[in-house]
Amino acid sequence: FSPANVKKKIFESFDKVCKPGCILASNTSYLNIDDIAAATSRPQDVIGCHFFSPANVMPLLENVRGSRSSPSTIATAMAFGQKIKKVTCLVGNCDGFIANRVMGASGFGWLMQHGIMPHLIDGASEAYGMRMGPCRMNDLVGLDLFGRERANSGQAKPDKIVIDAMYAAQRFGQKNGKGFYKYDEKLRYARDPEAEAMIETIWKNTGVSPTTMTEEEIVDKLYLPVVNEGFKCLEEGMAMRPSDVDVCCVFGYNWPRYRGGPMQWATSVGLPKVLEKLEAMGEKPSELLKDCVKNKWSLKAKDFVKRIDQAWQGRWSKL
Element (H, E) at 181: strand 181-183
| Neighbour count for residue 4 (Cβ, 10 Å) | 14
* Whether 200 contacts 162, CB under 8 Å: no
| Active-site residue, selected from the candidate residues 11, 31, 43, 50 | 50
31 touches 17 (CB < 8 A): no
* Cα dist from 110 to 76, 107, 161, 203, 263, whole Å: 41, 5, 10, 12, 22
Our answer to whether residue 114 is catalytic in this structure is no
Helix, strand, coil proportions of the chain in percent (round to 5)? Answer: 55, 10, 35
User: 142: exposed, middle or buried (C-beta count within 10 Å: 0-12, 13-18, 19+)?
Assistant: middle
What Rg value do the Cα atoms of the chain yield, rounded? 21
DSSP H or E stretch at residue 151: helix 143-152
- Say how many Å lie between the first and final Cα of the chain, rounded: 29
- Rounded to whole angstroms, how far apart are CA atoms 309 and 305? 6
- Which residues are known catalytic residues? 50
